[in-house]
Amino acid sequence: MSSATSYSTNNGLPGAGNGISASGTSPTFSPLYQQIKALITQGLQSGEWKPGDLIPSEVELANRFKVSQGTVRKAIDELSAENLVVRRQGKGTFVATHHEARAQFRFLRLMPDVGNAHYPDNRIIEVKRLRAPAEVARLLDIKSGDSVIFIKRVQSFDGAPTILEELWLPGAIFKGLTAERLIEYKGPMYGLFETEFATHMIRAAERIRAIGANQDVAELLAVALNTPLLSVERISYTYGDKPVEVRRGLYLTDRHHYQNELS
């Protein structure tokens, strides 16, 4: 680098000076480490590095992008904070995956009032293709009437039905998802989505309310009519903030609670 180098300079990076082509806004320049971060994210999104993979070392990335190791470090720091990658001292930096003990409860906040958390059993009730209802289409950012896969399941802790869940997935992405595959798969669905449909959930937004169980729900959860339940509506996003799952769960909270940390 010449001494006149400005950190706002393009630096010869492919796709640098980012934020230009993405939207029609003025060509503002982001810091170098943000550009590096975007480049690494592209590698994740494109599948160049898949979940569980080791990504190139900081030194190699620094050489490749013609920046200092410190700049690469800051980029990876943020990716790590966002749970897109996991650093392991002495080993390297790995693409985050849902196939890990530490990821099991990242999107499942229902905890037993007493005792330790463990993953629930899974009973698939229904899997079918249907045309997206207007509301679901809007949330998934697809066209109303587009094909979606609908899943209905009940999850049980220690034999006690506790979660009744309905999911809607874009048919275009989850083509070929069958009840059989869901039934034989153990663990969080996001693991299956990641491995078999190359779709890695990185973020979700939930809206929580209290409702009373209707006849159908009461039967499936084996509770009285009008039993108060948590209604948890979730939209999950993959890279690029693209919504790829809509989910509504009804949680029985007589022996469990939804746990949340405010900071």
Partner DNA sequence: AAGTGGTCTAGACCACTTT
Partner DNA sequence: AAGTGGTCTAGACCACTTC
The footprint of its own copies (CB under 8 A) covers 81-83, 106-107, 109, 202-212, 226, 228-230, 233-234, 251, 253, 257-263
Part in contact with DNA (CB under 7 A); list of ranges 63-71, 162-170, 178-186, 194-202: 63-71
CB of 134 to its own copies, least distance (A): 17
| Cα–Cα dist 56/53, whole Å | 10
Largest CA distance in the chain: 74
Q: Is 240 in the site for DNA (CB under 7 A)?
A: no
Closer residue to DNA in complex, CB, 32/151: 32
Instruction: Pick the stretch among 50-58, 131-139, 196-204, 220-228 that binds DNA (CB under 7 A).
Output: 50-58
Binding string to DNA for residues 19 to 38, with x set by CB under 7 A, is what?
Answer: ------------xxxx----
Residue 239 DSSP one-character state:
G
The closest alpha carbon to 151, from 121, 182, 172, 108, belongs to 182
Note whether 87 binds DNA by CB under 7 A.
Answer: yes
* Smaller CB separation from DNA, 59 or 172: 59
Minimum CB distance to DNA smaller for 11 or for 162: 11
Pair of tokens at residue 114: 């007493």
Cβ atoms within 10 Å of 174's Cβ, excluding its own: 21
**To 10 degrees, the CA torsion angle through 41, 43, 49, 50?**
60
CB of 261 to DNA, least distance (A): 22
The two three-digit tokens of residue 93, written as one number:
């930096």
DSSP at 179 = H
When CB distances are held under 5 to 8 angstroms depending on the partner's kind, the choice from its own copies, DNA, none that residue 152 binds is: none
* Residue 97 sits in the site that holds DNA (CB under 7 A): no
- Looking at the Cβ atoms of 4 and 81, the one nearer to its own copies is 81
The entry of DNA, its own copies, none near residue 230 (CB within 5 to 8 angstroms by kind) is its own copies
Q: Which of 201, 195, 140 is nearest to 171 (CA)?
A: 140
What are the Cα distances from residue 120, in Å, to 125, 156, 178? 15, 5, 21
DSSP at 263: -
Contact 65, 32 (CB under 8 A): no
Q: What is the binding site for DNA (CB under 7 A)?
A: 1, 3, 5-8, 11, 31-34, 55, 57-60, 67-71, 73-74, 87-93
